[in-house]
C-alpha cells in the first residue's frame, strides 16, 4: 500500500446485528499522531475471534495507516466500515510491508466491496487473487494519466467477480485487467478513462497457465483510452473464451494462443486514429 487513499465503506459481509469494535475506542486508540496501524490490527484480531458476527468501524476523521494485513479464517462474518480518510505515509520507509498496491484481496469469498475512493497508488489499486463470488461496486479510482502500472482493478485466478457502477479515471494503465485462471468475470455500468482501457491478459507468460473464460463487458463508457478493449498475450498462451458466442478466431498450432467465442455488439463511439477496430487472426 502506498500513496494517499481514501476509503468510504468496505463491506466484507452484510451483517444485520453485530458486535462492534471501534478502532478509536480507549481499548484500541492509535498514537498521538493519528497513526491507527496497530489499532486496526488489534480490532481485527478481536473481531475475527468473536463467535458472533462482528463489525470494525473507523469513525469519521483523517488517519494514517502504514499497512494492514487482515487475515482469516474468522469465526463469523465481519464487516469493515471505514467512514473517514486513510492516508499512507509519504515516507515509504515507514510502511510495514513492501507492497505498493492500495488494496489486495487474497482468497476472499462471498463478499462485497463498495463505496471506496482510492487515490494515487504506486501500483495496482485493487488486486483480487484467488477470490470467489466477490462484488465490487460504487468505486472511484483516480491516478495521474502518466503513472505507470497503475491498473485500477486487477483480477487473477478468481471466479465470479462482478464490477458495477464504478468510475476509474486517469489510470496510467488498464482500468480493468484479467489474467490467467479467471472465470465468469462481469463488468457493467462503469466509466473508464483516460488509461489503457479494459484488458484480458497478458496471457501465457507462465508455464501451464490456466485459461480465462466467461468474461462479459456490458453498458460501459470508455473515454480517451489508449486501446479501448483488448486481448493481450505472450507467445505460447493458453485459451481465452469469453461468455458471448460469435466470431471464432483460433490457431491450429496448440502451442499458440487460442481465442474463441468472441462477441462485439452495440458498440458506439469515435476513434482518434483511422483504425478503430483491429482483429488479427492467423490460421497458420
Report the CATH number that the domain containing residue 126 is assigned in CATH.
2.160.20.10
Do 107 and 88 share a structural domain? no
- Mean pLDDT for 172-177 is 92
Confidence of residue 207 (pLDDT cuts 50, 70, 90): confident
Q: Which of 75-79, 141-145, 268-272 has the highest mean pLDDT?
A: 75-79
Q: What is the mean pLDDT of residues 97-126?
A: 87
Mean pLDDT score, 11-16: 46
Q: For residues 90 and 126, state if they share a domain.
A: no
Whether the predicted pLDDT of 280 surpasses 80: no
Looking at the structure, tell me whether residues 58 and 7 fall in a common domain. yes
pLDDT confidence of 4, banded at 50, 70, 90? very low
Domain count, the chain: 2
Whether 281 contacts 250, CB under 8 Å: yes
| Bridge partners of residue 269, in order along the sequence | none
pLDDT band at 176 (very low <50, low <70, confident <90, very high): very high
Give the pLDDT confidence score for residue 267 in this predicted structure. Answer: 84
120 and 89 within one domain: no
Place 261 in a pLDDT band, splitting at 50, 70 and 90: confident
Alpha helix positions (H), 19-108: 37-49
Reply yes or no on whether 165 is catalytic: no
Q: Compute the distance between CA of residue 166 and CA of residue 221 in angstroms, rounded to an integer.
A: 11
Are 134 and 153 spatial neighbours (Cβ–Cβ below 8 Å)? no
Statement to judge: residues 24 and 164 lie in one domain:
no
Confidence of residue 50 (pLDDT cuts 50, 70, 90): very high
Assess whether 166 and 223 both reside in one domain. Answer: yes
Given the residues 154, 165, 196, 248, select the one marked as catalytic.
Answer: 196
The reply to whether 56 and 136 lie within a common domain is: no
pLDDT value for 101? 77
Q: Structural domain of residue 259, as residue ranges?
A: 100-284
- Rounded to an integer, the average pLDDT of 81-92 is 85
Q: Are residues 128 and 254 in the same domain?
A: yes
| DSSP-assigned letters across all residues of 44-67 | HHHHHH-SS-EEEEE-SSEEE-S-
Q: Among 98, 133, 167, which residue terminates a domain?
A: 98
Three-state SS at 60: coil
Same domain, 156 and 186: yes
Asked which of 98, 122, 147 is the last residue of a domain, the reply is 98
Shared domain for 93 and 113, answered yes or no, is: no
Average pLDDT in the chain: 82
Q: What is the dihedral of CA 10, 16, 21, 25, to 10 degrees?
A: 100
Q: In this structure, are 160 and 275 located in the same domain?
A: yes
Report residue 167 as a C-alpha cell: 468510475
* CA nearest neighbour of 199 among 183, 215, 210: 215
Using pLDDT thresholds of 50, 70 and 90, give the confidence band for residue 244: very low
Say if residue 52's pLDDT is above 80.
Answer: yes
Say if residue 246's pLDDT is above 60.
Answer: no
Of 80, 98, 116, the last residue of a domain is 98
Cell numbers of 186, please? 462481469
The answer on 55 and 19 residing in a single domain is: yes
What's the confidence (pLDDT) of residue 3? 40
Amino acid at each position: 500500500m502506498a500513496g494517499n487513499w481514501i476509503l468510504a465503506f468496505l463491506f466484507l459481509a452484510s451483517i444485520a446485528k453485530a458486535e462492534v469494535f471501534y478502532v478509536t475506542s480507549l481499548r484500541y486508540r492509535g498514537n498521538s499522531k493519528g497513526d491507527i496501524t496497530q489499532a486496526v490490527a488489534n480490532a481485527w484480531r478481536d473481531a475475527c475471534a468473536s463467535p458472533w458476527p462482528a463489525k470494525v468501524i473507523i469513525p469519521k476523521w483523517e488517519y494514517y495507516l502504514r499497512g494492514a494485513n487482515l487475515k482469516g479464517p474468522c469465526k463469523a462474518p465481519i464487516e469493515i466500515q471505514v467512514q473517514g480518510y486513510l492516508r499512507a505515509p509519504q515516507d515509504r520507509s515507514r510502511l510495514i510491508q513492501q507492497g505498493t498496491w492500495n488494496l489486495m484481496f487474497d482468497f476472499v469469498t462471498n463478499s462485497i466491496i463498495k463505496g471506496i475512493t482510492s487515490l494515487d497508488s504506486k501500483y495496482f489499486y485493487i488486486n483480487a487473487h484467488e477470490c470467489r463470488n466477490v462484488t465490487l461496486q460504487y468505486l472511484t479510482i483516480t491516478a495521474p494519466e502518466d503513472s505507470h502500472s497503475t491498473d485500477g482493478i486487477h483480477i487473477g485466478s478468481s471466479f465470479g467477480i462482478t464490477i458495477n457502477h464504478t468510475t476509474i479515471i486517469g489510470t496510467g494503465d488498464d482500468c480493468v485487467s484479467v489474467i490467467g485462471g479467471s472465470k465468469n468475470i462481469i463488468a457493467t455500468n462503469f466509466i473508464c478513462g483516460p488509461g489503457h482501457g479494459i484488458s484480458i491478459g497478458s496471457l501465457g507468460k507462465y508455464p501451464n497457465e490456466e485459461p480465462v473464460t466467461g468474461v462479459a463487458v456490458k453498458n460501459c463508457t470508455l473515454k480517451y483510452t489508449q486501446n479501448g478493449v483488448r486481448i493481450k498475450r505472450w507467445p505460447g498462451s493458453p485459451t481465452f473464451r469469453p461468455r458471448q458466442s460469435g466470431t471464432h478466431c483460433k490457431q491450429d498450432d496448440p502451442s499458440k494462443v487460442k481465442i474463441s467465442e468472441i462477441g462485439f455488439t452495440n458498440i458506439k463511439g469515435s476513434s482518434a486514429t483511422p483504425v478503430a477496430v483491429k482483429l488479427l487472426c492467423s490460421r497458420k
